[in-house]
Chain A
Amino acid sequence: MISPCVTIALVPEIKTGPWIFWEPIEVSIPKAAALGFQAVELFTASADALNADLLRKQLDQHSLRLGAVGTGAGKVLHGLTLTNPDASIRARAVDFITDMIAFGAAFHAPAIIGSMQGVIPLEVERERALAWLADGLALLGQRAEDQGVPLIYEPLNRYETNVFNRLEDASHFIDQLCNVVLLADLFHMNIEEASVPDAIRKAGGRIGHVHFADSNRGPVGTGHIAMGEIVTALRETGYNKYISAEALPFPNPDEAAAMTIRSFRNYFG
């Protein structure tokens, strides 16, 4: 079943980011449940930044699931990435993500690698950086598999990374790895793909998570993405996981969440 999920950010340092809810989980989880979301995607400062018992209690009480956990704080707060030329920083990035995988896996939720893929510096050969990334993802993919969850790799648009910007290129890369799936972020794809529906069809069963946002990264319905064909293509790949609203909280979190669930029902209901 394709089900609606919404992001909750718990890292005040990144207040300008594309996440819908910003309030503590005691406030945002009940709001998400009341609107009809079936899961939440969390963005936390680290794996131990949030009390897991409290999270479990909130999720159980509101019959929500944890859809995924973001790992981006490793870069934003600590400067860690999987393509940093410094081997010790790459190792710390792997440790940071390993902890996030364990945190999510306790709730059957996968971890997402987005900004933790980093940006390949000009002075580093691309092949070399990709080999570092492959090493990191291979190890993390294995650790995730040991805990019964996939690992999600997210291609980002050109202004955020030069690693992989399009699903097809990322597909070739992850096909050499084990237990790594792709995240189709409609905002990034709208910038990079020749055709978003065709890119989705080509990636097919590799897609393990979807970030649901419009062309302006607002909630779906506030921009100009032609969503109909995209939704059709997703269905035709047999996608049956989360449609997760990772979008700017415009005009405010509550209205952005309500707009998202309306759009979800329009397209997937």
Chain B
Amino acid sequence: MKALVLTKPGETEVREIEPPRPAEGEVLLRVGMVGFCGGDLNGFRGLFELQEYPVVLGHEVGATIEQLGNGVPEQFQTGMRVTISPYKNCGKCLSCRRGKPNACVDNRTMGVRRPGAMTRYITVPWKDVFASDSLSLKELALVEPLTVGFHAAARGRVGKADRVAVIGCGIVGMGAVAASVHSGAEVIAVDIDDSKMAIARKTGAAHTINTSKTNLHEALLEITHGDGPDVIIEAVGNPLTYRAAVDEVAYTGRVVYIGYAKKPVEFQTGEFVKKEIEILGSRNSLGDFPNVIRYLEGGTFPVDDVVSRIVSLDEGGAALAAWSQNPGPITKIMMDLEK
């Protein structure tokens, strides 16, 4: 069967690989849709330090159960539509022992440090499989990236009384917008692209700020009546937005960082102390799959607006290269294995 392999930075190849068989406790999945992740983009650009080469790409999966290995509990049946948690934690480190496998010191994500899902069949341990009988394969492929934003909102303890600014409205930021709206917060979506602002509005953001046209500081003060947002979720990973989060958050507010800054960032650390803010990192997701599945089942997320482009396996490499050339307006590219 064919698979899209990232062979080295800037290079992909369609290779022939052996179809897998489900071992004890594993489920064989027929892959339907796979999303391209910002991590795939960074791996392609050679900017993701954890990326291994060569590796089959893909970890945002919508699939159908094809076959069950021995010892898989009966809640799983062939034909069910599912998504998967693509993480694999060590089970031994302090994070794992504390029940926070998302912060495992030796996490191995599919398509990054072990083979991914951009191929026809994959096998997965049953405990990583999450089913929904009402979501489409395309919606199921959106679950994992949205869990990342949901986890960030949970880290920020976002609730009804909060005004939350989300900086960066790619799919991860959009997940944070969705989760915050879902928690009853008043959400301010911040980006530099009008099409993403429009999607954030559809997702339920009450306000949008396009910082290529508007001054962020003034706009936030006006919306929050001079207080600043209670929570700022940073989903870009740029030194400017990293600093802006600390500068703009309200006194005694919370800052949540999801974006990976690729360079050192300078801070006015006096702001940390003076405002007595909480600064929280947020990595991958933690138990958010069922929440996101339920949220998507509610039907309020603008799925078709978010998925900018659908390609075949053969077109995957070129699509990744094109995305790398022009990342601006694209929220999500997906590979349709039926195409």
Contacts and interface: CB of A to CB of B under 8 A. Distances in A.
Given A202-B75, A235-B287, A266 B98 contact: yes
Contacts of B294: 238
Interface string B66-98: 000000010100000000010000010000111
Nearest to A236: B287
A238 B291 contact: yes
Contacts of A267: 98-99
A202 B73 contact: yes
A201 B91 contact: no
Contacts of A268: 99
Contact of B99 (A198, A201, A202, A229): A229
A231 B99 contact: yes
Nearest to A198: B127
A61 interface: no
Contacts of B291: 238
B97 A236 contact: no
B91 A229 contact: yes
Interface of A: 197-198, 201-202, 204, 226-238, 266-268
Nearest to A230: B99
Contacts of A232: 99-101, 286-287
Given A235-B287, A236-B290, A228 B127 contact: no
A211 to B, nearest CB: 17
B289 interface: yes
Nearest to B159: A1
Q: How large is the interface on B (under 10, 10 to 19, 20 to 34, 35 or more residues)?
A: 10 to 19
B101 A204 contact: no
Interface of B: 73, 75, 85, 91, 96-101, 127, 130, 286-287, 289-291, 294
B85 to A, nearest CB: 8
A226 B91 CA distance: 10
**Dominant secondary structure at the A interface:** helix
The CB with the most chain A CB atoms within 10 A, among B91, B99, B289, B290, is that of B99
A226 B97 contact: yes
A238 B290 CA distance: 5
B290 A228 contact: no
A66 to B, nearest CB: 22
A67 B284 CA distance: 31
B286 A201 contact: no
Contacts of A197: 127
6 contacts: A202-B75, A228-B98, A228-B99, A230-B99, A234-B287, A236-B127
A227 B95 CA distance: 11
Given A198-B127, A201-B127, A202-B75, A228 B100 contact: yes
A232 B286 CA distance: 8
Contact of B290 (A231, A237, A266): A237
Contacts of A226: 97
A175 to B, nearest CB: 11
A228 B97 contact: yes
Nearest to A227: B99
Given A236-B127, A238-B290, A204 B98 contact: no
Contacts of B289: 236, 238
Contacts of B98: 228, 231, 266-267
Given A197-B127, A236-B130, A238-B289, 11 more contacts: A201-B127, A202-B73, A228-B97, A228-B100, A231-B98, A232-B101, A234-B287, A235-B287, A236-B85, A236-B127, A236-B287
Contacts of B100: 228, 232
A193 to B, nearest CB: 13
